[in-house]
Amino acid sequence: MNYLSQLGKLFSLETLDTRLNPTTNPIKRQSIIKKANPTSRWSTLEFKIYLTILIIVVPLMIKAAMESSNETNPNYPRFQHLLSDGWILGRKVDNSDQQYRFFRNNFPLLCGLIFIHVTLRKLINTFIIIPNGRYNNNFKRTYFDLIFGIIFLIGAHGINVFKISFHLL
């Protein structure tokens, strides 16, 4: 039995990863606390370079997409038949892909669903008190998200959700 306990100690989490045990050395403890709360890096040169690249590249990406789908593009007649009327400033969109078509056609509906989800969660967190003294917002939020997620899956996929869930088990 002594060998088993020694073997158990050898493979214990504390032996495998010493970071799990609190240290008794006060100097090491202070260094761990300093590492846990590093100074902000928002004003460093690296962040400023990334921000500059972001400010330059993102508008160029949008410009490239706008120019490639513009009517003045020489290749526009080649793919014009694939485009449908869009909802963003009258621009045409490529609806040839089924997933993107679903997303683009139902974007206002999805935004409304997000609004309903957030509103219902706020109302439930405000007015519903969980019995047995469990008045914990994270607990209520977890159950609300679980129930809302199940209702959303059934609404989006119908009864096939149960078949898919059964196959996942």
8 A C-beta contact, residue 95 and residue 84 = yes
Residue 131 lies in a domain: yes
Q: What is the pLDDT of residues 89-141, one digit of tens each?
A: 778 888 788 888 888 788 888 899 899 989 998 888 788 776 665 556 667 77
How many domains, the chain? 2
41 found inside a domain = no
72 domain-assigned? no
pTM of the model: 0.49
Asked whether residue 137 is assigned to any structural domain, the reply reads: yes
In a domain, 13, yes or no: yes
Look at residues 125, 117, 126 and name the one whose alpha carbon lies nearest to residue 148: 117
What contacts 119, CB < 8 A, 6 or more positions away?
none
Which distant-in-sequence residues (6+ apart) come within 8 Å of 155 by Cβ? Answer: none
Domain limits for position 27 = 2-36
For residue 145, give every residue at least 6 positions away whose Cβ sits within 8 Å of its Cβ, in sequence order, or none: 121
Q: For residue 92, what are the β-bridge partners? A: 85
Q: Per-residue pLDDT tens for 5-59?
A: 777 776 776 666 666 677 777 887 777 777 777 778 888 999 999 999 999 999 9
